[in-house]
Amino acid sequence: MVTLNKETMSVMREIDVIPFRNRIKEMAVKIGMGLVNQTKLITAASELARNMLKYAKGGKVFIEVISKGRENGIRLVFKDTGPGIPDIKMAMQDGFSTGKSLGLGLPGTKRLVSEFHIESEIGKGTTVTVIKWKNG
């Protein structure tokens, strides 16, 4: 997997989510991603950014254009230094939420992207990595 382009954005306030979503859209359009996949990727990004704001008071997102063989895609790495997730297995279940939401955030997000990886350490923070391939 080769990284073609990399940039960082910080999401510290709710309003930061809008330029963040727009930037992802620009990059997705640039690599020729179709509208449905674009929408899925941006929706997933929106969910993860909200989680970061809600549970960790914000964090950083690395946005990368990657390529594997003939396929191009976008990788997003959400890094926060929040409280961490005690039980990832539980958090990945549909309908589970410690907040007031419907609990669709993490499992729903996973369904929207091509690859999903989550790592969390209590007291240190959480890192969520998602990849959406152009045709994936």
Q: Which stretch binds another protein (CB under 8 A): 19-27, 59-67, 80-88, 127-135?
A: 19-27
Three-state SS letters, 80-100: CCCCCCCCHHHHCCCCCCCCC
> Under a CB-based contact definition with an 8 Å cutoff, are residues 56 and 80 in contact?
yes
Q: Would you count residue 84 as binding another protein (CB under 8 A)?
A: no
Pairing type for strands 59-68 and 71-79 reads antiparallel
Q: Which stretch binds another protein (CB under 8 A): 45-53, 74-82, 83-91, 118-126?
A: 45-53
**Of positions 4, 12, 29, 102, contacts another protein by CB under 8 A:** 102
Q: Give CA–CA dist 101/95, Å, rounded.
A: 9
Q: Which stretch binds another protein (CB under 8 A): 66-74, 79-87, 106-114, 123-131?
A: 106-114
Output 82 or 105, the one with its CB closest to another protein. 105
Q: At what angle do helices 35-56 and 105-112 cross, to 10 degrees?
A: 150
Q: From edge to edge, which strands make up the β-sheet containing 115-121?
A: 2-11, 59-68, 71-79, 125-133, 115-121
**Of positions 23, 83, 92, 108, contacts another protein by CB under 8 A:** 108
Q: Would you count residue 93 as binding another protein (CB under 8 A)?
A: no
Residues that bind another protein (CB under 8 A): 14-15, 17-18, 21-22, 25, 35-36, 38-40, 42-43, 46-47, 50, 94, 101-102, 104-105, 107-109, 111-112
